[in-house]
Amino acid sequence: MARTALFAQHQPGGLFAIEDMARSTGSRFFVDSATGSDTVGYGQSPDSPTATIDYAIALCTASKGDIIYVMPGHAENVITATGINCDVAGISIIGLGENGSMPAVSFTAAAGSVTVAAANVVINNLKLIANFATGTTTGFTIEAAGDGCVLDGVVMRDTSAANEFLIHVSVAPTVADLVIRNCSFAGLAGAMSNSILFVGTSTNCVIEDTDIFVDSSDSVIDHATGASVNLRVRRNVVVNADAGTAGYCVENKSDGTGVCHNNLLGYNKVDAEVTAGDATWFFENYASNTIAESGLLDPATSHAIP
């Protein structure tokens, strides 16, 4: 038999599938709140999906490349920190559908969160909605075991100024190889402290091609507590609409290393500094803290290049 790039598999009780091996040779599972059931025998076919993402995660096998497809229009509610607990290593959770049909996860309790508690988890094309009256504390919680997590194409939105995310993504100390890319995080004027908060040290983490438009009382991307090793912040649009805060758009600890380049940064506090990081390289970042005026290079060039 001639070998090709296609992979054939038949899951017991599920589909016979021909797929591209470049994606994965793992099992496939399906989630749909409209037609699904969190009972034995469901999840291996789009015709008999599970009802929740967390139930589908429990069907996966660690480090085999299993993929969970979340169907267009799926909607579920999370009220606890482990309501969606990504505790199986190497899985991908992929939302299907665009704009209004993108799968949506709502949070109606302060503790509601999507927790990543295992390595190499990929989350793609999901919409997270804050809908608790005094604020959802954290949308994504990346635990210390969550090395290699990828958040790709994730959308996060507040329902109102009160029903908001206080932090979009919280990253535990020592996390390595986290990637946040192609995401859209937006927050209304309320009590948000940070969009992306690194609680301690990190290694080789990347934030790229992401739009962040928030009203944040502290630094929007905040890595001030523990030193980073090779943090890369690139090609993002970061706007803090709060006119009275004392944070930054991008803040790295004084001894945190990395590169911040080709970002567009807006901060609505006149004369406020926009970036910080004494051990960070900065290239081609344009910043403004005055609405309706064009940005300038930040930090300003003050050194001599022979």
pTM: 0.92
Amino acid of residue 147:
D
Residue 268 lies in a domain: yes
Residue 225 lies in a domain: yes
Please give the span between the terminal C-alpha atoms of the chain, in angstroms, as a whole number: 63
Q: Torsion over CA of 57, 165, 247 and 245, rounded to 10 degrees?
A: 180
Token pair for residue 102?
């993108």
Where does residue 55 fall: left (phi above 0), alpha (psi -120 to 50 degrees), or beta otherwise? alpha
pLDDT of residue 84: 98
- The 3-state secondary structure of 149-196 reads CEEECCEEEECCCCCCECEEEEECCCEECCEEECCEEECCCCCCCEEE
Residue 42 lies in a domain: no
pLDDT of residue 4: 47
pLDDT of residue 243: 87
Residue 104 lies in a domain: yes
User: For residues 208 and 183, is the Cβ–Cβ distance under 8 A?
Assistant: no
pLDDT of residue 246: 74
Residue 153 lies in a domain: yes
Q: Which residues contact 17 (CB under 8 A, 6 or more apart)?
A: 8, 9, 10, 11, 28
Residue 46 lies in a domain: no
pLDDT of residue 306: 72
Residue 203 lies in a domain: yes
Based on the structure, what is the number of domains in the chain? 1
Rounded Cα–Cα distance for residues 275 and 269 (Å) = 13
pLDDT of residue 21: 54
pLDDT of residue 272: 81
Structural domain of residue 117, as residue ranges? 72-297
Among the residues of 170-268, which ranges form H helices? Answer: none
Predicted confidence pLDDT, tens digits, the chain (306 residues): 444 445 555 565 555 556 665 566 799 999 999 999 999 999 999 999 999 999 999 999 999 999 999 999 999 999 999 999 999 999 999 999 999 999 999 999 999 999 999 999 999 999 999 999 999 999 999 999 999 999 999 999 999 999 999 999 999 999 999 999 999 999 988 899 999 999 999 999 999 999 999 999 999 999 999 999 999 999 999 999 998 887 899 999 999 999 999 999 999 988 888 999 999 999 999 999 988 889 999 988 776 777
Residue 34 lies in a domain: no
